[in-house]
Structure 1
Amino acid sequence: MRPGIVTLTTDFGGVGPYVAAMKGVLLGMAPGVAIVDVCHSIAPQNILEGAFVLEGIVKAFPEGTVHLAVVDPGVGTARRMLAIRTAGQWFVLPDNGLITGVAGLYGVEAAWEIANPRLARGEVAPTFHGRDVLAPAAAHILKGGDPAELGPATERFVTLRNFEPTPAERGCIGEVIFRDAFGNLITNIGEAHLAARPSRDWVVEVGGRRIDGVARTYGESPPGSLIALLGSTGWVEVAVVNGDAGRLLSAGPGATVWLRPKS
């Protein structure tokens, strides 16, 4: 029953022909494929943000799904492109750290370099490998092609050091890695970092503001309250109830976040 599902995650935005061009290649090479747009509003060249988004979607998709991700500031350079199998799914992406969150949570079953020019489009633009190299590789996998035909197997891939917070002061120092459409600031501090003590006994500090305790839901505090809570993706996020934390704190991706025990 091939082809199956392919997801798209990019920093292309909603303007221009770029996303549609990749979809056209996929549909032409793997007719009938179901294309799911995950996110095309990754901040330009923000690999960390892309890695966060990819890590957050794995559990929602069935075995065999192919995830095509293009956040690629090194396009056209000697950086590699990879097809990685993990959690029963596939990730087709540049080797620049986009796989960090997924690999950290699920490990990697196998990986291949995408290096076979015969599987690329006839003309490969040095500035659009997403359309000309990565999309054809994804189509090859969707059709059940042998991943070894893509290129040599590999056991190495780039990971991002700042995907994990730094241990400090019986807590940790992290950062905001994603600002969602509601203005919630999602951090790289996860559920495991809260395990040492009850949620109410933590302090979260960001943008010069202190938040006592990590809430379970938005509704535990009145509208306008600045809160921290464990979000649906398993990461601590800072939010304003019925408001915009990013605007209130003038903060976004890259902002430092401290997690400390109450003194």
Structure 2
Amino acid sequence: MSQHALVLQSDFGIDDGAVNAMYGVAYSVDSSIRIFDVTHNIPVFHIWEASYRLLQTVSYWPEGTVFVSVVDPGVGSERRSVAVRTSTNQYIITPDNGTLTHIKQKIGIAEARHLDETQNRLPESGESHTFHGRDIYAYTGARLASGVIRFDQIGPEVLPESLIKLPVMEAFIEDEWITGTIDILDVRFGNLWTNISRRLFSKLDIRYGDALNVIITHGTNQVYCQTIVFGRSFADIPVGEPLVYVNSLDNLGVAINQGSFAEVYDIGTGIHWRISLRKARQD
């Protein structure tokens, strides 16, 4: 049997035995399986962040890698479980609740299947309806990664267009301003990661060292309005000063050198957090 890596993600944390139980189920399928983690520190029930963390990691793994993402506030309900094959030939098993939003938008989904929970379930777990991460997703992911089952045996094919998608806004340019959303935080450092691509930003003819007007809003409230330098790296500015930079996903980020921009200015993430930038005018 062919074997591929199994990569797990959840909002379970590691304060109890939940993640360990998922590992155990996977090893019970195949004791030689290789298991890795994206993170288990997704904020509880935060589907948007689960979606973005998949975008951050999936395409960097070899073809055939199987991801299991479990952020599942609807566990035990009639919500659908799905497995998908990305356009770069990785697999993701997850609740169909919007977790695939960024993968669908930025990478593409080549094929999707409705996971048959009656056939793909840990033996003797049929009366448990609150831990599908262990009983269905980890079990099915391990079977797929280890070659016990093929992707087409997971369940009937469904249209990728039918998968639930969270609301998103594409970045755009209007009247010298470029506007996008603050999609996620570089959590440990408090940097803001936007959906403004370097390619779109380059249309403004801005160079490293230029000053930018930066406005951040949350809904109708303006929470930040300052001039910030566009820098190549954090070393370009003094400690404690802000900068706009290109992050590891080739999108614009906003940071404070050796500080937390998100904490200092109480910035959040998601569709209602907007950022607008333009080259500062010389008066």
Q: Do both proteins adopt the same fold according to a TM-score greater than 0.5, normalized to the shorter chain?
A: yes
Map of 1:204 onto structure 2:
214
Q: Deviations over 1:76-107 (max 9, x none)?
A: 11111111001111011111111111122221
Encode CA deviations 1:209-263: one digit per residue, 9 max, x unaligned.
3243532211111110111211112232221101111221122324723223235
Find the counterpart in structure 2 of residue 256 from structure 1.
273
Looking at structure 2, the residues matched to 10 and 217 of structure 1 have their Cα atoms a distance apart, in angstroms, of: 31
Kindly tell me: are residues 27 and 260 of structure 1, through their superposed partners in 2, closer, same or farther at Cα, counting changes over 3 Å? same
Superposed displacement of residue 163, structure 1: 6.0
Q: Deviations over 1:108-138 (max 9, x none)?
A: 1111111141220121422111111111211
Q: Could you tell me which residue of structure 1 aligns to residue 131 of structure 2?
A: 128
CA distance in 1, matches of 2:275, 2:90: 34
CA distance in 1, matches of 2:39, 2:153: 29
How far does residue 12 in structure 1 lie from its aligned partner after superposition? Answer: 1.1
Asked whether the equivalents of residues 187 and 235 of structure 1 are also in contact (C-alpha less than 8 Å), the reply is yes
Instruction: Establish whether residue 160 from structure 1 lines up as the match of residue 166 from structure 2.
Output: yes
Measured at CA, do residues 81 and 211 of structure 1 come closer, stay the same or move farther in structure 2, by a change above 3 Å?
farther
Give 3-state SS (helix, strand or coil) of 1:186's partner. Answer: strand
Cα distance change of structure 1 residues 166 and 11 upon mapping to structure 2, 3 Å threshold: farther
AA aligned to 2:235 is: G
> Paired residue for 1:80?
80
- Equivalent-residue separation in structure 2 for 1:64 and 1:239 (angstroms): 35
Aligned counterpart, 1:172: 179
Match 1:239 to one of 238, 252, 255: 255
Q: Which letter maps to 2:245?
A: L
The 1:60–1:243 alpha-carbon spacing in structure 2 relative to 1, beyond 3 Å, is same
Change (3 A) 1:135 1:224: same
Say which SS state the counterpart of residue 119 (structure 1) adopts: coil
What is the CA RMSD across the aligned residues, in angstroms?
2.1
AA at the equivalent of 1:138: G
Among 242, 245, 256, the alignment partner of 1:226 is 242
After superposition, the Cα gap between the structure-2 partners of 1:77 and 1:185, relative to the gap in structure 1 and judged at 3 Å, is same
Of 129, 142, 150, the residue aligned with 1:146 is 150
AA at the equivalent of 2:277: R
Structure 1 segment 61-100 matched on structure 2, within 5 A: 61-86=61-86, 87-100=88-101
Task: Name the CA shift for 1:168/1:126 in 2 (closer, same or farther; >3 Å).
Answer: farther
Q: Would the aligned equivalents of 1:211 and 1:226 in 2 still touch at CA under 8 Å? A: no
Q: Aligned partners of 1:204 and 1:96: how far apart in 2?
A: 33
Q: Find the residue that maps to 1:109 and give its secondary structure.
A: strand
Number of equivalenced pairs = 263
> Are the aligned partners of 2:111 and 2:157 in contact in 1 as well (CA < 8 Å)?
yes
Q: Which moved more, 1:140-149 or 1:219-228?
A: 140-149
Counterpart of 1:3 in structure 2 is 3
Letter in 1 for 2:151: P
- Distance in 1 (alpha carbons) for counterparts of 2:132 and 2:193: 30
Q: Return the index of the structure with the highest Cα Rg.
A: 2
**AA paired with 2:164?**
V
- Structure 2: state its 5+ residue gaps: 217-222
1:179 deviation in Å?
Answer: 4.2
> 1:137 matched to which residue of 2?
140
